Amino acid sequence: MEAIVRSILRKPRDSSYTHAFGTPDARRAIASHHSVPGLPLNPKHVIVTNGCSGALQLALASLLDPGTILLVPQPGFPLYEEIAESQRAIVVKYRLDPNRNWECDMDHLEEIMRAKKHNVRAMVVNNPSSHGAVFTVEHLSRILDFALNHRLPIVSDEVYGNLTFGSHKFHPLSNIAARHGRKVPVITTSSLSKQFLVPGWRIGWLVFHDNIWGSLKNVQAAAEKLARLQHGVSHLQQSAISTLLSPSTSGLASWRENLRKMLEDQARFLSSKLGACRGLKVLCPPQGSMYTILGLDLDRFDGIRNDVDFCHKLVREENVFVLPGSSFEVPGTIRVAFSADKITLATAIQRISSFCDRHDNQPTIARACGKILSTIDEN
């Protein structure tokens, strides 16, 4: 916020119209931020967009034609499917395996390609993911081998960036692709929203990391044409990008590390407490981002039909809002955010625990004895 104020006071022109692809300063900062060591990007490879959602819209609309197929992760972000279907493209979901830290099921991907090979246009990879997974270098390399074998460009949704926990580290897919000889074209989408806690600013971007054969040339040209239709995004908010992405900004590194540690602590706190609730199971401890997915033992709950019903009743009875896993194509689960402060999380956990106890059809011995004594008293 201070960066924006300084900018508007020193450079009043930051309140004026700007280029549809973004301001020169913003594009330069983004290009530097996403450059691969030894292979710097040029600002011409960057388009500033209306949030990461706007970046995904430009990327997918430029890649897809009616009838073509987009591979998206399951669980994943529902917007991938919505954008693809708006282009009259077809979405095919590839499984992520909770028993392997939500890694891509490579066998399932190969099965899809055997059945759909000639129509698949691109695939989306989300890392860190919107359900708490962080991919290793080895797994990202396997994804790149798959994409190269089937000649697929990858849209890499990296909106959570360095929000990772413990030994889990974020590795930009474009960096791994460069080490592999720049044979797989990668379009990176990201934004300020999650990593700097400013989702309402709606400042995102896409970056084109082309391969050695220039496979993204026409795709980027199409994205630029679509960007002109939007007439650019907020010039004022863009003025903060160079400050927020510069490693030399005073206090920035410590602020980002404090945020990462806070989320890691909250993730550990929430997972340990909810994992002890009746009928809930942490499928994979969160490795990054702001969310985790928990399994529901639906046979254990009286009067709850499915994950959607669980969420409806939870918000009505306890005023706690979580998302049903069906929204992400993983029915029988819920997705919980741990980005709230610890006091709020503690209150939410207590209410979820009370809700699970109230609907539990497998009472503990103490509760069973209480019911028996109550019956005796009534008689």
Is position 317 within any domain?
Answer: yes
Shared domain for 234 and 327, answered yes or no, is: no
Shared domain for 38 and 101, answered yes or no, is: yes
Shared domain for 168 and 99, answered yes or no, is: yes
- Which residues face 294 on adjacent strands? 282, 334
Domain range enclosing 147: 2-245
What does the pLDDT look like over 173-187, one tens digit per residue?
Answer: 999 999 999 999 999
pTM over the 0.85 mark: yes
CATH of residue 313:
3.90.1150.10
For helices 51-63 and 217-230, angle between their N-to-C axes, nearest 10 degrees: 130
Shared domain for 295 and 318, answered yes or no, is: yes
Q: Which of 78, 110, 75, 114 is nearest to 95 (CA)?
A: 75
Shared domain for 6 and 107, answered yes or no, is: yes
Q: Given the structure tokens 């990296």, which residue do they identify? A: 158
What does the pLDDT look like over 310-348, one tens digit per residue?
Answer: 999 999 999 999 999 999 889 999 999 999 999 999 999
Task: Judge contact between 349 and 271, C-beta under 8 A.
Answer: no
Is position 373 within any domain?
Answer: no
What b/e readout covers 180-190, taking b as 16+ CB neighbours within 10 angstroms? bebbbbbbbbb
Q: Spell out the residues 6+ positions from residue 307 whose beta carbon is closer than 8 angstroms to its own.
A: 296, 298, 324, 325, 326, 331, 332, 333, 334
What does the pLDDT look like over 260-308, one tens digit per residue?
Answer: 999 999 999 999 999 999 999 999 999 999 999 999 999 999 999 999 9
Shared domain for 217 and 263, answered yes or no, is: no
Shared domain for 227 and 193, answered yes or no, is: yes
What does the pLDDT look like over 61-100, one tens digit per residue?
Answer: 999 999 999 999 999 999 999 999 999 999 999 999 998 9
Categorize the per-residue pLDDT at 230 as very low, low, confident or very high, splitting at 50, 70 and 90.
Answer: confident
